[in-house]
Structure formats: C-alpha cells, structure tokens
Structure 1
Amino acid sequence: MIKWLLMLIAILVVFGCARHDENAEAENGAVNSEQKGKGMQAIKEEEKEVDQYINNPQAPDTRSLKEIGDTYEDEDGKVTLVASTDDSKRLEIGPIELTYKNLKVMEYRPALHLIDYFHQFTHHEDRFNYLKLQVKIQNKSEQTINVAPVSVLETSEGELKGFEDDFYLQELHGKLSPGQVKTGELAYILEKSDPEQLNSISITTSDVYEDNKQQAIEKGKKVELAF
C-alpha cells in the first residue's frame, strides 16, 4: 500500500512540473510576442513620424495626384501633375544617409495672394512649372554636422538650380544634431526645361561639414533620378 501511495505522489509531482513548464513556456511566448508586437509598432510609428507630411504654405498638397493630368486646388492655388517617376535613390556620405523619392513635375497657378512671393523666383509668377521631390536626411554620427542635400540640381535639358532656388523653404539644408532625422520636400521652378522632354535630373550634394562649417569631413556626391 505504501509503495503504491509513493508511486502516486511521484506521478502527481511529475505531472505538476510538466504543467508548470508548459504554462511558463506559454507565458514567455506571450511576452515575447507582445514585445515583438510592440517593437514592430514602434518601428511603424517611427517610420510614420519620419515620413509625415509637412504642410507647405507656398503650394497645395500634391499627394493625391497619381496620374498625369490629375489636378488639385485649395486656397493656395491649382496644381496639375505633368510628369512623375517612381525612381528613388539612397546615398551615403560618411555619417549621412540621404534618400530622394516622390519626384514630380507640376503645373502651378498660384492664388493671387502668392503672386508677389513668386515674383522673386520667376517672371511668369501667375503660371509656371516646378519640380518637387521628397528628401530624408539622417545623421548617424555622434557629432553635429552641416550638409545641403541639394547643392546643385541639373535637369537633362541643362537647366541648373541651386539650394537658394528652393521655394518650399522647409529648412532641410544646414545643421543636424547627433542622430537627428529631417524629412521634407524641395521645389524648384523650371523655366528652361520642357516637362515632356525631361528624361532625368542629377543632384549634387554639398560636402559634409563639421558644425562650424570650417572643415569638410566628406566630399559631396552626385545622384541621378530618371523619369
């Protein structure tokens, strides 16, 4: 009788340990799944934050324009999509990572209150074509650096634009603190380039400088996006 009682106790102990291990494994799996889920959510939130649209007071939002001929109008004026490309490029210059994408050419008819603003950029301020693109800049170093994602932009028809020709003015040129990410758009009025004949653009960045902009730590690079 004692022998059978001891065997019964041993079986119950083994069964209890097995159940405990199964429960612990299930709990650990749930915790890992929850942590993984939170990690993926954090990544998605970070990407969403980085790519978040920045409203621009100089022109309407063009995100809804997908097909050639699509138009959009708001209080800033009317834009029509005349050319676009899905081409995108990622460029590394020392501690800096640059991404160029969402390249579009728009026909723009600004509202009356913006005519004077565009007079400083073109003599056809009531109706003109402009090129716009989205830029993301990330400083992967532990020091503050200074860089211009577009120092010179040249179209396939030979029209040149400098960083001072950008009329969106979203402060994408200049300093980035350690680990900082900037994202936004640049826009340049086209006066010598026919959008229907436009094959590509080339972008030359500035050199990458230290904070004081006295010493270059990396030479600038050139990248091309095709239509």
Structure 2
Amino acid sequence: MKKVFSLVFLSTLLLVGCSDNNSLTESHVVEAESTFSTEYSPNPQVPDDRTLMEIGQTVSDEKGEATLEAISQIGDTFEFGLIRLTIKEMKQIHLRPDYSLIDYFHVLTHEEEFDFVKVFVEVENTSTEKVHFAPIAKMKTNLGEEFDWHEDIYLEELNGELLGKEVKQGNIGFIVHSPDTLEWILLDTSDIFDKDEKKIFNSQEIKLSF
C-alpha cells in the first residue's frame, strides 16, 4: 500500500530532518523479520535501467534512451530507530527522453537530453506501528549541486507513511547539470515520526561513492 504525506506535513518533516543529524558510517547486518512488501514496478516516465550494468550500455523503450555513465553496487543496510534502509545501487545515467515526455522534464531542465543520478533503495518499517519517513530528503554531490525531494524525477511515493512491517522499494533520482562524472553523493534522510506525527528518531547522513 502506498500513501503520500500532505505537503504541509512532509515539508515540516524534511525541514526538521535536515538538522541534528546522527551520521551513519557503517553498514549493519540485521536478521530478517516477517514483512509485507510493495514490489517495484517500472517507472512510467524513465526507461527501465535494470539491464544497464556496464558503463556505455544503452537501453531504449517508449520513454526514451538511457546510457549508463557510472555505477556502484552498494548493498549496505543501515538500521536506525524503527527503520531499516538498504541502499542497493547508485547510477549516473544520460537520458534522452521521448518527445512525449519533454514537458514532464521541462519543470526541472530545458535541455532535451541530460544526466541524472539515481539511487535504488529499500526501506522497511521494523515495528508493528505506523511511521512516517523519507529515505532521501536531501542530496548533495561532489560537483556542488544540491537537491531536495521536490526535484525527484521518479515520484515513486517512497516518502511518507509506512505501515507496520511494510517494505517499499524503488528509485529516487535527480537531474545533474554538470557534464563531469560524479565521485560521490551525500544524502540526508528525514527524521522518523510515529503515527501521531511526533519525532522519535533523528535524520541520518549517508555518503555514497562511485
């Protein structure tokens, strides 16, 4: 089941989530529990890049043409508060969107083709209680660019409500304007809020390298 925060609550969550960070610097091996999962489905705006595993590979479909510029298979799992967050992979992709989708991307860029960085994540509520959480509230890169959740091109509803034992997985991606290859990104999660919208755990800062 997927639900979305109201803009008012999500904005508050993200603003609070950027302060008082507890930095995560190592992955944690955790025991699997009984959960229910929201399976990932291909995005309606961005080509499915799951077959892109080597730099220079290209995939084309009705949504456009995507070429892999950089990839990092991460696979690190972080557990904090009631959240278990797995960063599965990070990619830099050059996208030439189909003409029918130009208007969709024009909100963020006027270029007809561009690079973007994307992170594939899995987020799990380890408790039986409903929580509110955003796996990537803000992101910055070594190229000096900064993004927040408003600029996510995937819009796969990963931010927001997680029911007890619920697992969500999907992509979060941001258009980068520098022509250079990324070396690393620094992402901030939101704080974790309980079912009554009360903060129960601080936001986390995670650095990912190509």
- When the two structures are superposed, what TM-score results if normalisation uses the length of structure 1? 0.74
| Of 117, 132, 154, the match for 1:131 | 117
Residue by residue over 1:80-125, the C-alpha shift from the partner in whole angstroms, topping out at 9 and shown as x without a partner, is 001111223211120110011221110000001000000101121x
Does 1:161 pair with 2:147? yes
Per the alignment, residue 36 of structure 1 pairs with none
Change (3 A) 1:53 1:178: closer
| Of 93, 99, 106, the match for 2:80 | 93
| TM-aligned CA deviation for residue 52 of structure 1 | 4.6
Residue by residue over 1:25-53, the C-alpha shift from the partner in whole angstroms, topping out at 9 and shown as x without a partner, is xxxxxxxxxxxxxxxxxx9xx99x95954
Q: Using the alignment, how far apart are the partners of 1:158 and 1:226 within structure 2?
A: 15
Runs of 4+ in 1 over 6 A off after TM superposition: none
| TM-aligned CA deviation for residue 202 of structure 1 | 1.1
Specify the SS of the correspondent of 1:137.
strand
Select the structure of larger CA radius of gyration.
1
Does 1:102 pair with 2:89? yes
- RMSD across aligned C-alpha pairs, in angstroms? 1.9
- Whether the 8 Å CA contact 1:93–1:220 is kept in 2: the answer is no
Does 1:142 pair with 2:128? yes
- Whether the 8 Å CA contact 1:155–1:193 is kept in 2: the answer is no
Which amino acid in structure 1 is aligned with residue 204 of structure 2? K
Which amino acid in structure 2 is aligned with residue 105 of structure 1? Q
| TM-aligned CA deviation for residue 156 of structure 1 | 1.5
Q: Using the alignment, how far apart are the partners of 2:123 and 2:78 within structure 1?
A: 10
Greater length-normalized contact order (CA 8 Å, ≥ 6 residues apart) = 2
Does 1:203 pair with 2:190? no
Identical positions, percent: 37
| TM-aligned CA deviation for residue 143 of structure 1 | 1.3
- When the two structures are superposed, what TM-score results if normalisation uses the length of structure 2? 0.79
Paired residue total: 178
Q: Using the alignment, how far apart are the partners of 1:51 and 1:226 within structure 2?
A: 27
Per the alignment, residue 221 of structure 1 pairs with 204
| TM-aligned CA deviation for residue 142 of structure 1 | 2.0
Per the alignment, residue 59 of structure 2 pairs with 72
| TM-aligned CA deviation for residue 211 of structure 1 | 2.3
Per the alignment, residue 22 of structure 2 pairs with none
| Of 30, 41, 48, the match for 1:61 | 48
**Structure 2 gap ranges (5+):** 1-31
| TM-aligned CA deviation for residue 192 of structure 1 | 3.5
Q: Using the alignment, how far apart are the partners of 2:144 and 2:159 within structure 1?
A: 23
**Structure 1 gap ranges (5+):** 1-42
